[in-house]
Structure 1
């Protein structure tokens, strides 16, 4: 069985860019968080401080996802 999904949570300007705070991404073998980011056309965020979490734990973007995982895409935080 190779079908399944990864749930993607997006926040702030990232959610605005993809048009939703939550979405489902079709899982495939060797799917990394970086693959998801690039396929959502958010690759430019990789050099701008994008933080990611897998199942609630911060992690690097090269981590591979499993069916049913939850990936959070967190824009950099700024303040004054």
Structure 2
């Protein structure tokens, strides 16, 4: 997201599922559900690659992330707008 690339999240743990939901709500990506078919996953991936709205959401979020050397600071800043 920080580099402007939308994300397709394949969660295997609860916290990954939660982050996937936040990313999907922010418009910066989509999350795969454990019950998604191959066709559904393919459709989500195609949308991420072709729809400009996902890239625009990433750019909006990226503006809020400081250019700090601390990875913790960057992660907190990146997650902050997702949690709103």
The TM-score, its normalising length taken from structure 1, stands at: 0.27
Relative contact order, higher structure (CA 8 A, sep 6+): 1
